[in-house]
Chains A and B, each alone.
Chain A
Amino acid sequence: MSKLSTKHLLGIKYLQKEDINLIFETADHFKQVINRPIKKVPSLRDITIANLFFENSTRTKLSFELAEKRLSADVINFASSSSSVTKGETLIDTVNNILSMKVDMVVMRHPNPGAAYFLSQHVDAKIINAGDGAHEHPTQALLDGYSMREKYKDLTGKNIIIVGDITHSRVALSNIFCLQKMGANVKVCGPLTLIPKYINSLGIEVISNLKEALEWCDIAMMLRIQLERQDTKFFPSIREYTQQYGLNKELLDSLSKKITIMHPGPINRGVEITSDVADSNQSIILNQVENGVAIRMAVLYLLAGRVD
């Protein structure tokens, strides 16, 4: 297989296992490229990409922009805070205006779930979802899966726990789809108020005790509490959350085996994870960031498609 089965990257849900493998294999080559003295290749030199960020982002935006530049694409950036969106323009109008400047691909982050899908139905460009509300964040899940594959080669039968605010996390949902397709066992852990009701329909079990969850897993993915998406109180206090679901060195060292720690960022140090755990040699958080560029290069390369 040398072609993705989808035209856009809207979510991991729409990808086949073969697509994920193809993206990983292509990312291997790009990882090699970005470690060369000259880190740039001319593959996408005739492509223009618009990065539309209707929501704040540091890592994802920089990572996409770097990936695009490493592939020699022309890049235009857009942030909603400084645009006409604040004057009442609709999403389609904004994007169509940008596309009339002859843009081939759109990378979009938007606070509304389904925004990327909606866009793909209405405009004529390749759409890459860089996070849509609490729905999906496919490139994050791909780079997480890729980082795990790098460490464990094959994820079949590996136990992975996702800890924290599952309800409001797009990273959790995309990772669940991705890891299940890669053959791993996934469970979630967190206060029941932060676990979505539909979780059982995905075939996911909930472990409510953190220590028990960590004993079960090979890899623990710690998530941030998404206060900006919470309109009501889901737990009594941050302090209480940390006591119940925060990962500290003492807890990590008390486990019977060495597990791998991941975090998609941004980290709230001292809340879901303490600094000594985040910076320990069991953590692969910075590898995740490095792999992000390679994965995004692979996705852009594979989706770029034919000149008509």
Chain B
Amino acid sequence: MQSSDRIILDPKQFELTIKRLSHQLIENYGDFKDTVIIGLQPRGYFLAERIHQELMKINAKLDIKLGSLDITFYRDDFRRQETPIIPNKTEINFIIEDKKVILIDDVLFTGRTIRSGLDAMLAFGRPKTVELLVLINRRYKRHLPIQADYIGKNVHSIVSERVKVNWKNIDKEDKVILYTPE
């Protein structure tokens, strides 16, 4: 970590934020009947998994289906990159036709990932409703008219800065940092 790095969420705040988001979902979805959670690959799925665990902790009787969605083939910048983008795994072992979908990603920035995600999701059926949950919302940077319904934290940042979400199971510690790449 460098001196220019700024911690947005420390491990304690991180945990509280996950709890708050989970409680907000329970408030709106109750028993989660006909509701599914889909995390966008790769890093949105970590958040989706965590939220799913937290929901089960709060109420072990809940039966909530969890899936991961890869958007690689649906991206609008495919031929604008130097090399082809290598996809991740999509695992949706349920039908989303007529289901209420909670779409989860770690950071909402330009909105293009979510746009691709919505497109990709339609290949699995027509959902009844879709809501978006993100851990970090980078404000004022949207390229498309897309907003989140559940937000962990709003961040004001400049375009050259990057937000990195670290996860306990892969990056040792739960935390969110804002940094300027060299």
Q: Are B73 and A306 closer than 8 Å at their CB atoms?
A: no
Instruction: Give the residues in chain A near B74, CB-CB below 8 Å.
Output: 41-43
A26-B122 in contact given A41-B73, A306-B79, A307-B80 (Cβ < 8 Å): no
Q: Are B84 and A2 closer than 8 Å at their CB atoms?
A: yes
Q: Are A304 and B125 closer than 8 Å at their CB atoms?
A: no
Q: Which of A22, A37, A42, A46 contacts B73 (CB 8 A)?
A: A42
The answer to whether the Cβ of B3 comes within 8 Å of any Cβ in the partner chain is no
CA of A25 to CA of B72, assembled, Å: 14
Q: Are B82 and A43 closer than 8 Å at their CB atoms?
A: no
CA of A38 to CA of B97, assembled, Å: 12
Residues 129-146 of B contacting A (Cβ, < 8 Å): none
Instruction: Give the residues in chain A near B86, CB-CB below 8 Å.
Output: 2, 22, 25-26
Identity of the chain A residue whose Cβ is nearest the Cβ of B79 in the assembled complex: A307
Q: Which of A22, A46, A306 contacts B82 (CB 8 A)?
A: A306
Q: Are A38 and B122 closer than 8 Å at their CB atoms?
A: yes
**Binary contact track A8-23/B, C-beta < 8 Å → 1, others 0:** 0000000000000010
CA of A301 to CA of B87, assembled, Å: 11
The answer to whether the Cβ of A302 comes within 8 Å of any Cβ in the partner chain is yes
Q: Are A37 and B80 closer than 8 Å at their CB atoms?
A: no
**Chain B: minimal CB distance from A66 (Å):** 16
**Chain B: minimal CB distance from A296 (Å):** 15
Q: Which of B70, B80, B84 contacts A301 (CB 8 A)?
A: B84
Q: Are B70 and A29 closer than 8 Å at their CB atoms?
A: yes
Considering residues A2, A40, A304, which has the most beta carbons from chain B within 10 angstroms of its beta carbon? A2
Interface size on A, residues (CB 8 A): 24
Q: Are B83 and A2 closer than 8 Å at their CB atoms?
A: yes
Q: Are B73 and A3 closer than 8 Å at their CB atoms?
A: no
CA of A195 to CA of B73, assembled, Å: 43
The answer to whether the Cβ of A33 comes within 8 Å of any Cβ in the partner chain is yes
Identity of the chain A residue whose Cβ is nearest the Cβ of B116 in the assembled complex: A42
CA of A22 to CA of B85, assembled, Å: 11
**Chain B: minimal CB distance from A205 (Å):** 38
Identity of the chain B residue whose Cβ is nearest the Cβ of A25 in the assembled complex: B86
**Binary contact track A228-249/B, C-beta < 8 Å → 1, others 0:** 0000000000000000000000
**Chain A: minimal CB distance from B93 (Å):** 12
Q: Are A36 and B124 closer than 8 Å at their CB atoms?
A: yes
The answer to whether the Cβ of A201 comes within 8 Å of any Cβ in the partner chain is no
**Chain B: minimal CB distance from A27 (Å):** 11
CA of A25 to CA of B83, assembled, Å: 16
Q: Are B85 and A306 closer than 8 Å at their CB atoms?
A: no
The answer to whether the Cβ of B78 comes within 8 Å of any Cβ in the partner chain is yes
Q: Are A29 and B84 closer than 8 Å at their CB atoms?
A: no
**Chain B: minimal CB distance from A9 (Å):** 14
The answer to whether the Cβ of B161 comes within 8 Å of any Cβ in the partner chain is no
Q: Are A306 and B80 closer than 8 Å at their CB atoms?
A: yes
Q: Are A29 and B87 closer than 8 Å at their CB atoms?
A: yes
Instruction: Give the residues in chain A near B78, CB-CB below 8 Å.
Output: 43, 304
Instruction: Give the residues in chain B near A32, CB-CB below 8 Å.
Output: 89-90
Instruction: Give the residues in chain A near B82, CB-CB below 8 Å.
Output: 3, 306
**Binary contact track B107-125/A, C-beta < 8 Å → 1, others 0:** 0000000000001001111
Q: Known A-B contacts: A32-B89, A38-B123. Give 13 more (CB < 8 A).
A: A3-B82, A29-B70, A29-B89, A37-B124, A38-B124, A40-B123, A41-B73, A41-B123, A42-B119, A71-B73, A305-B79, A306-B82, A307-B80
Can you list 26 A-B contacts (CB < 8 A)?
A2-B83, A2-B85, A3-B82, A3-B83, A22-B86, A26-B84, A29-B70, A29-B89, A29-B90, A32-B89, A36-B123, A36-B124, A37-B124, A38-B123, A38-B124, A41-B74, A42-B73, A42-B74, A43-B78, A301-B73, A304-B78, A304-B84, A305-B84, A306-B79, A306-B80, A307-B79
Name B's A-contacting residues (CB within 8 A).
70, 72-74, 78-87, 89-90, 119, 122-125
Name A's B-contacting residues (CB within 8 A).
2-3, 22, 25-26, 29, 32-33, 36-38, 40-43, 46-47, 71, 301-302, 304-307
